[in-house]
């Protein structure tokens, strides 16, 4: 039986204390819309609806999370491009219709959005944050990844070529994108107070199925550093890091980033299923919270019992991480998974994740 409320449990982990059991953050976004019968497009087009769906879903299942607004193709909308909302069959998140940068010359003309107000998706994120802060929860702001955002602000396959053929221009674009994120983070920190903010940083384009660790060092790392330097200057207490997909070869740079800030701030890592929990604990566990990485497609395709087993394995590997552990999937919870699947996470945490 649970001895703590979800808020108490999550707070205990953040503070470096032992909770009654492993907390569960199932990284639920689109799933919540599906479960309450809301069109997925509405969830992303309207921050209020986004909050309501996530808040209802949290109450339904009783997991430890805070509603947030974010998606992998963040960037184009903020820079004046056009995105589509996921109303179509098979859609899972907003997608790019018009990239603001199609040719190399567009980079010079690209203007960093106004720093005094939220832009694009941050307008909707602000609606979510307003509701969260009103209810005593933190405001979660998407703060990256800069590399992934740049790769969708520009036509992706062109951007990937430019990091080889036009490195100066690629850097110019990355610099502008990082400044956009910094401006938005500062706006949210000023509005709500940095102590009430959490930054979420993550993206898939820097995965090692796409770029080499050398290219990560050259093009992703400096701008990640720039944004996180600002996060530290603002003294925002908590950062959620989601190196999406296979980023095993990039791990040394994530460590370097944390070392350069003397491991200050509370960082929680949600790597993809490709990164063993053992590795994560070895590299970050003394200082940082480790989130689990249950394989998202398996959550959708396997049975309740099989998902419980996957969660059990995750819990057994992660729960004794020195700085704490939260059971999570390795990426967003599949929007179309069966309604019973979040229960598999919670049931597993109750059965196998109790701290003595």
Partner 1 sequence: MVSKEEILEGLAKAVIDGDEVKSEELAKKSLELGIDPYEALMNGCNKGMAKVSDLYECKEMFVPEILLSADAMYAAIDILKPHLKVDASAKKPAKVIIGVAQGDIHDIGKNLVKMMLEVAGFILVDVGKDVPVDTFVKKAEEEDADLVTISALMTTSMLYMEPVIKQLKGKNHKAKVIVGGAPINSDFAKKIGADGYGKDAVEAVKVAKNLIGA
Should residue 45 be labelled a site residue for partner 1 when binding is judged by CB under 8 A?
Answer: no
> Closer CB to partner 1, residue 28 or residue 185?
28
Q: Which two tokens stand for residue 324?
A: 């704490």
Alpha helix segments (H runs only) across 104-204: 106-109, 121-134, 146-153, 156-165, 167-192
Among the listed ranges 156-164, 223-231, 259-267, 340-348, the one in contact with partner 1 (CB under 8 A) is: 156-164
Q: How many angstroms separate the CA atoms of 157 and 155, rounded?
A: 6
Q: Taking Cα atoms as reference points, which of 239, 243, 217, 242 lies closest to residue 228?
A: 239
Q: Binders of partner 1 among 241-260, rule CB under 8 A?
A: 245, 249
- b/e for 72-107, b at 16 or more Cβ within 10 A? bbbbbbbbebebebbeeeebebbbbeebbbeebebb
> Closer CB to partner 1, residue 16 or residue 88?
88
Should residue 148 be labelled a site residue for partner 1 when binding is judged by CB under 8 A?
Answer: no
Should residue 24 be labelled a site residue for partner 1 when binding is judged by CB under 8 A?
Answer: no
Should residue 37 be labelled a site residue for partner 1 when binding is judged by CB under 8 A?
Answer: no
Should residue 156 be labelled a site residue for partner 1 when binding is judged by CB under 8 A?
Answer: yes
Q: How far is the CB of 73 from partner 1 (least distance, A)?
A: 9
Q: Which of 41, 56, 91, 217 binds partner 1 (CB under 8 A)?
A: 91
Q: Which of 92, 255, 347, 354 binds partner 1 (CB under 8 A)?
A: 92
Should residue 164 be labelled a site residue for partner 1 when binding is judged by CB under 8 A?
Answer: yes
Q: How far is the CB of 12 from partner 1 (least distance, A)?
A: 31
Q: Binders of partner 1 among 179-218, rule CB under 8 A?
A: 208-212, 215
Q: Which two tokens stand for residue 98?
A: 């018009």
> Closer CB to partner 1, residue 86 or residue 292?
86
Should residue 149 be labelled a site residue for partner 1 when binding is judged by CB under 8 A?
Answer: no
Helix (H) or strand (E) holding 140: strand 139-142
Under 8 Å between Cβ of 344 and 308: yes
Helix (H) or strand (E) holding 346: helix 341-352
Residues 6+ apart with CB under 8 A from 12: 4, 18, 19
HEC sequence for 287-330: CCEEECCECHHHHHHCCHHHHHHHHHHHHHHHCCCCCCEEECEC
> Closer CB to partner 1, residue 157 or residue 262?
157
Should residue 167 be labelled a site residue for partner 1 when binding is judged by CB under 8 A?
Answer: no
Binding residues for partner 1, total number by CB under 8 A: 33
Should residue 290 be labelled a site residue for partner 1 when binding is judged by CB under 8 A?
Answer: no
Among the listed ranges 50-58, 135-143, 233-241, 294-302, the one in contact with partner 1 (CB under 8 A) is: 294-302
Should residue 279 be labelled a site residue for partner 1 when binding is judged by CB under 8 A?
Answer: no
For residue 24, the 8-state DSSP code is: B
Q: Which of 48, 260, 279, 301 binds partner 1 (CB under 8 A)?
A: 301
Alpha carbon distances (Å) from 242 to 272, 291, 321, 327, 328? 8, 9, 18, 14, 11
Rule CB under 8 A: which residues touch partner 1?
30, 86, 88-93, 95-96, 156-157, 160-161, 163-165, 208-212, 215, 245, 249, 296-297, 300-301, 334-337
């Amino acid at each position: 039986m649970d001895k703590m409320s979800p808020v108490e449990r999550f707070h205990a982990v953040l503070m470096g204390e032992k909770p009654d059991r492993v907390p569960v953050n199932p990284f639920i976004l689109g799933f919540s819309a599906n479960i309450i019968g809301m069109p997925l497009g509405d969830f992303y087009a309207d921050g209020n609806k986004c909050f309501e769906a996530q808040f209802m879903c949290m109450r339904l299942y009783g997991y430890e999370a805070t509603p947030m607004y974010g998606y992998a193709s963040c960037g184009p909308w903020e820079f004046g491009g056009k995105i589509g909302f996921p109303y179509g069959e098979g859609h899972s998140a907003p997608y790019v219709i018009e990239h603001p940068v199609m040719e190399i010359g567009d980079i010079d003309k690209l203007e960093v959005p106004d720093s005094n107000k939220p832009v694009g998706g941050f307008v909707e994120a602000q609606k979510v944050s307003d509701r969260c802060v009103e209810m005593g929860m933190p405001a979660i702001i998407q703060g990256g990844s800069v590399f992934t955002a740049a790769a969708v602000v520009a036509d992706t396959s062109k951007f990937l070529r430019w990091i080889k053929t036009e490195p100066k221009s690629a850097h110019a674009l990355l610099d502008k994108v990082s400044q956009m994120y910094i401006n938005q983070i500062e706006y949210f920190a000023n509005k709500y107070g940095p102590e009430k903010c959490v930054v979420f940083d993550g993206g898939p384009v820097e995965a090692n199925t796409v770029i080499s660790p050398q290219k990560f060092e050259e093009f992703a790392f400096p701008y990640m550093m720039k944004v996180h330097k600002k996060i530290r200057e603002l003294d925002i207490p908590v950062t959620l890091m989601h190196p999406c997909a296979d980023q095993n070869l990039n791990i040394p740079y994530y460590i370097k980033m944390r070392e350069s800030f003397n491991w200050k701030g509370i960082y929680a890592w949600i790597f993809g299923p490709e990164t063993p929990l053992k590795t994560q604990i070895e590299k970050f566990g003394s200082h940082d919270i480790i989130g689990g990485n249950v394989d998202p497609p398996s959550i959708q395709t396997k049975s309740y019992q099989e998902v419980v087993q996957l969660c059990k394995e995750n819990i057994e590997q992660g729960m004794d991480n020195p700085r704490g552990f939260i059971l999570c999937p390795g990426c967003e919870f599949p929007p179309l998974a069966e309604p019973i699947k979040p229960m598999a996470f919670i049931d597993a945490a109750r059965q196998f994740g109790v701290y003595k």
